[in-house]
Amino acid sequence: MSIPPRLRTLTDRLLDRRVVIGLYALLAVAVSVQAILVGPRTFVENAPAYTDYNNYVIFQQAAVHLVTHQPLYVHYPAEHWDLFKYTPTFALAFLPFSWLPDLVGLPLWNLLNALVLGFAVLALPQLDRRQQSLVLLIGLMELITSLQNSQSNGLIAGLVVGAFAALERQRPGLAATLIVCAGFIKPFGLAAGLLLLAYPGFWRGVGWGAVSAVLLAVAPLAVVAPGELVQIYRDWLGLLGADHSVQYGYSVMGWLATWFQWQPAKTAVLGAGLVLLVLPYLHRSAFADPAFRLQLLAFLLIWLVIFNHMAESPTFVIAMTGVALWFVPATKDRFTVALFILAFLLTSLSATDLFPRNVREAWVKPYVLKAVPCILIAAVLWVWLMVASVRTRQVTALD
């Protein structure tokens, strides 16, 4: 069945990379302006009023607290709700935003998240231009969710995808630096360092990564004393330890707890996840296949979310980018399409007003259904990676 010319023209326009990047930019600004126009409001009865872009305020105020030598990891209920949980380096990097009015700073922050991800996907050599645009459109709903929460997840996804694109262009130093930058925003981003194993120049990348890590770790010395910085890092590690003991999130840990009432030690689940993440890298002969490398990236992006015990709904822009990178170049059999539709419905749409609220509250949240399609796709992807690597090894042996 041929596609009508008008429909083909419309599709071509929608998948034009300039249109998609423009859409990303427009939505980043629109979401920001909407959040500002809503103004502060009370989310809990008799509680202080806070903005809809509370996370941005947290980041902004953390920069102020750092330069004014106030504790970073304590509650400031007069300024915002929840705690700052990122590194002091991230607080320092947010200092320019603290100088800007919110009407300027918030759109710039959301634009940074949207465009870093957008241009990183457009840099992937394994995909043609239409496929790149389709990946971005598939991840659009999750990106909006992240932007509405003024989160950093679009930036994390973009840094990891950008690191992969840099490795594809034989720039391991740049790739390692991007991965370290992701890690200094959210530590789980450092798992992307495994990608270096699939490319030449591994040790060069490790060297650049080590230098980048040291420089970023000591960067706050520009505004605080050495002893103070040591204490800040101690406070941060203490906060992460406390979070580790009380949260499950939309993750494998949450799935096991809610579906099977099984609560193994989080370190054990993470350890098992790390084994699964590492195993495909043991068969180096498969690295020569560009499609295999792209699926390594897809699996990693999903893994970063489903094995993160703190995964929240806005985090899934990372996972859905992985899902899109798995689905777009895949053979579209019924099983693959069904899994993708399940992910689009439960992962992307369940957090939006397009999804029935009563279903979301009664089923999606209690049973972490947002994570389940990603867990299933990660399992399918892992099996594909292992089978592909074994087949490649067998072919190499025959040759």
Ordered DSSP codes for 82-133: S---S-HHHHHHTHHHHTS-HHHHHHHHHHHHHHHHHHHHHT-TTS-HHHHH
Confirm whether pTM is higher than 0.85: yes
Structure tokens at 40: 């502060």
Q: With the CA atoms of 61, 59, 186 and 249 taken in that order, what torsion angle do they form, in degrees rounded to the nearest 10?
A: 100
Are 80 and 57 in contact by the 8 Å Cβ rule? The answer is yes
Exposure of 145 in the CB half-sphere (CA atoms within 13 A)? 21
Q: What angle do CA 115, 118, 121 make, to 5 degrees?
A: 145
370/349 Cα distance (integer angstroms): 9
**d(C-alpha 177, C-alpha 166), whole Å:** 10
Rounded CA gap, 265 and 185, in Å?
A: 25
Q: Could you read off the pLDDT tens digit of each residue along the chain, which spans 399 residues?
A: 455 665 566 677 788 999 999 999 999 999 999 999 998 887 666 678 899 899 999 999 999 999 999 999 999 998 988 899 999 999 999 999 999 999 999 999 999 999 999 999 999 999 999 999 999 999 999 999 999 999 999 999 999 999 999 999 999 999 999 999 999 999 999 999 999 999 999 999 999 999 999 999 999 999 999 999 999 999 999 998 876 555 678 999 999 999 998 888 888 999 999 999 999 999 888 999 999 999 999 999 999 999 998 888 899 999 999 999 999 999 999 999 999 999 999 999 988 877 888 888 888 888 899 999 999 999 999 999 999 866 655 544 444
User: Looking up tokens 């060069």, which residue turns up?
Assistant: 204
CA distances from 222 to 64, 88, 95, 193 (A): 14, 11, 12, 27
- The helix, strand and coil proportions of the chain, stated in percent and rounded to the nearest 5, come to 75, 0, 25
Q: How far is CA 64 from CA 86, 224, 236, 360, in A?
A: 14, 12, 17, 38
Angstrom distances, CA of residue 195 to CA of 120, 156, 159, 253? 16, 15, 13, 25
285 token code pair: 């002969």
- Three-state SS for 124? coil
